[in-house]
Amino acid sequence: TALAGTLGIGGMVGVAAALAMGGAGAVFWMGVSALAGMVLKYVEVTLSCASQVKTAQGWRGGAMVILEKLHHPAAAACFCLCCMAAAFAMGALVPASSVCAALHMAFDLPPWISAAAFALAAAVVLRGRGQAILKANRVLIPLATLLDVGMCLWIIFTPAERIGTIGEQILREAFDFSAAASGGSGFALSKAVRYGVSRGIFSHEAGMGSAPLSYASAPVSDPARQGLMGVAEVFIDTFLVCMLTAFALLIIGIDGYGQDGMTLMMAAFSRAIGPAGPALIAFFIVLFAFPCVLGWYYYASVCLTYLSGSALLADGYRLSFLLMIAAGAMLSGSLIWEISDLLNGCMTVLNLAALFLARRLTDP
């Protein structure tokens, strides 16, 4: 479930959006973000598992439990509310918008039909909650990851002689000061850093406090071992899926920086694969999006249960979540990404505050 929430759309559309807005240099800053993210993920998962508590609903851990133990109940409640709001964006709006756009470009399918079908499929699985989510992710995530990695490797190693050139381009654009006199390079560099880091965080979610909610939901005998699993999660997401996708897009050649990420992906893979490219990308988007929806709903449900055990509130939130999936078909992609970045930031601030204060829990 943690890997499902982490991989999601960020490994494909998020990478394309970073390249579209920040250029090839954004790939370098995604890697920098991931290196820092490995440390953060290890710390947040280990601490959350070490401080988990047994409740009537099962095991629970995360930033809210840490903050509660440190006598900050208001901050704990704020983290839960931020997570529930972020789930609307990360787990509903972004996946639904990406799926609807992909199916429209590939098959000219009206967005409202895609949104309705996507929401209906999510509703069926979400009624089963924890076990149904686990079973679905157990199949979809390995399938989506292996197929995507295989496609990217085929694209990358077909013209293997270009790999070195692409690496040089990434480093050059990551630190491009050649036009410093005109000020243009400073702007280009800032965009590369901004979109590389923000899309990196969107993808691997390290520091946000989302993944620990699933890691700490089962009994843990060795918290540090779970922390290392969190490190592996960031590695798989960024240095495997995201980097391979970025290299594949750069080797194919992306024209028109500044385009929408989905448009860029469709155009690039159509050139590499032919007429079947858009349909194949749409298939991958659906495979990654659905587990992302399930994973983020699970995070939100853990936070909602922490705040209240009311079945009425749970049903109301689930209905709101499904309505957000439908709304994703009608909102512009750029607006949805900005909303997601804002809500991610709110979660991250509270989670990092919890990690900083948590040193008191480990002091002798």
Q: Using one digit for the tens of pLDDT, what is the confidence trace for 204-214?
A: 777 888 889 98
Has residue 195 got a pLDDT over 60?
Answer: no
For residues 7 and 12, what is the distance between their CA atoms, to the nearest angstrom? 9
Helices (H), ranges, 223-332: 223-234, 243-252, 261-273, 277-307, 311-327
Is residue 327 over pLDDT 90?
Answer: no
**Higher per-residue confidence, 349 vs 31:** 349
State the average pLDDT over residues 260-264: 71
pLDDT band at 300 (very low <50, low <70, confident <90, very high): very high
CA atoms within 13 A on the CB side of 265: 31
Whole-number percent of the chain with pLDDT over 70: 82
pLDDT digits (tens, 9 = 90+) for 63-83: 999 999 999 999 999 999 999
CA dist 361 and 47 (Å) reads 9
| pLDDT value of residue 225 | 93
Amino acid 360: pLDDT: 65
Distance CA 24, CA 19 (A): 6
Residue 212's nearest CA partner among 191, 226, 192 is 226
Spatial distance between the Cα atoms of 311 and 314, rounded to a whole number of angstroms: 5
Q: Are 263 and 29 in contact (CB under 8 A)?
A: no
Q: What is the largest CA-CA distance in the chain?
A: 64
CB 263 within 8 Å of CB 104? no
Q: What's the burial of 167, exposed, middle or buried (CB within 10 Å: 0-12/13-18/19+)?
A: middle
* DSSP code for 237: I
Dump pLDDT digits (tens) for 23-59.
777 888 888 888 888 999 999 999 999 999 998 888 9
Looking at every residue in the chain, the average pLDDT score rounds to 81
- Cite the beta strand spans of the chain per DSSP E: 53-55, 58-60
CA–CA–CA angle 208, 210, 216 (5° rounding):
130
Tokens of 151: 């496609």
pLDDT at 303 over 90: yes
Q: Tokens 């006598």 sit at which residue?
A: 71
Two tokens at 339?
């909303």
| Total residues found in the chain within this entry | 364
C-alpha distances in Å from residue 234, one per residue of 152, 179, 259, 299, 308: 19, 34, 27, 18, 31
User: Which pLDDT score is estimated for 180?
Assistant: 39
